[in-house]
Amino acid sequence: MLASKRTRRLLRSPTAMVGLGIVLILLLTALVGPAFTRYDPHHAALSEALRPPGDGYLLGTDELGRDLLTRIVYGSRLALGVAVMVLAIAVTTGVIVGSLAGFLGGWVDEVMMRITDMFLAFPPLILALAVAAALGPSLVNAMIAMAIVWWPWYARVVRGQVMAVKNEDYVAAARSLGAGELVVLVRHVLPNCLLPIIVQCTLDLGTTMLTAASLGFVGLGAQPPQPDWGLMVATGRQYMLSYWWVPTFPGAAIFFAVMGFNLFGDALRDVLDVQS
């Protein structure tokens, strides 16, 4: 009954529907878009360089004659793949650290949370830039840097949820029936902490994509000739005044992707609010 009510509220929210529509378009583009493209995203044809939109190319071409629409479509797959991989690593690490800290308490909680606070003391983008620069410019190193930045936030969220749930009556009942501490944590505590994690992941997908694009923009993320949106904006910025489409369309892809996940994540957070 409650789930049905929340679903109806989500479907009646204009913000949620706009965000969901953008997200679905992005997912479909990443999954099936490359099958409908006419060009190779890496093939350079200097004779076709800097063609304007509509002249045989729907969004024009870049400085090497590559079709911008094709590169943006392939870039959506790259952007989503990076975001999902980074969050998978961050969520797994954060859930392990946060659940152990919140469930065990004592010195374990103190040590783990002080380590977490060390990472949270730095602005996320600055820390990601520093780690990526130390590891060297590559897409894999950028993903490692972003995962290092994101896991402390999930550790904090999970710790707070675990501490709120571990003293509930059904947890005490499970213990009284002979369930071990690990079973209690995995089967009875963590499943009731999933909603905040789901909402946070939805919000962070857009932010992770933006951070990946930022690292690509400054040369610390994806490297040429990968069709990374941030890298495309960086290489096209010198053509902004004369050939506006080169950086504009990849920048618009970043904007709409981040906006879609943020709109849907905000609406999902409001609907799943336990007090609503």
Residue 230 is part of a domain; what is its CATH number? 1.10.3720.10
In a domain, 40, yes or no: no
In a domain, 120, yes or no: yes
Residue 193 three-state SS: helix
Rounded to an integer, the average pLDDT of 144-172 is 89
Angle, alpha carbons 23-27-32 (nearest 5°):
150
In a domain, 42, yes or no: no
Residue with tokens 């997200």: 23
pLDDT at position 149 over 80: yes
Ramachandran sector of residue 144 (left: φ over 0; alpha: ψ -120 to 50; beta: rest): alpha
* Tokens representing residue 163 in the block: 């501490």
State the Cα–Cα distance between residues 113 and 97, nearest whole angstrom. Answer: 9
Q: Supply the pLDDT for residue 220.
A: 93
In a domain, 49, yes or no: no
In a domain, 206, yes or no: yes
Domain with 121 in it:
21-33+56-271
In a domain, 12, yes or no: no
pLDDT at position 108 over 50: yes
pLDDT at position 169 over 90: no
Confidence of residue 273 (pLDDT cuts 50, 70, 90): low
Asked if 221 and 228 count as a contact pair (C-beta separation under 8 A), the reply is yes
In a domain, 75, yes or no: yes
pTM of the predicted model as reported, rounded to 2 decimal places: 0.90
pLDDT at position 215 over 60: yes
pLDDT at position 107 over 50: yes
Confidence of residue 276 (pLDDT cuts 50, 70, 90): very low
In a domain, 156, yes or no: yes
Number of domains in the chain: 1
Rounded to an integer, the average pLDDT of 230-257 is 94
Asked if 16 and 268 count as a contact pair (C-beta separation under 8 A), the reply is yes
- Tell me the per-residue pLDDT of 27-38, one tens digit each, with 9 for 90 and over: 999 999 999 988
In this prediction, what percent of the chain has a pLDDT beyond 70?
A: 97
- Tell me the per-residue pLDDT of 115-130, one tens digit each, with 9 for 90 and over: 999 999 988 889 999 9
Mean pLDDT of the chain: 89
pLDDT at position 274 over 50: no
Q: Which residues contact 4 (CB under 8 A, 6 or more apart)?
A: none
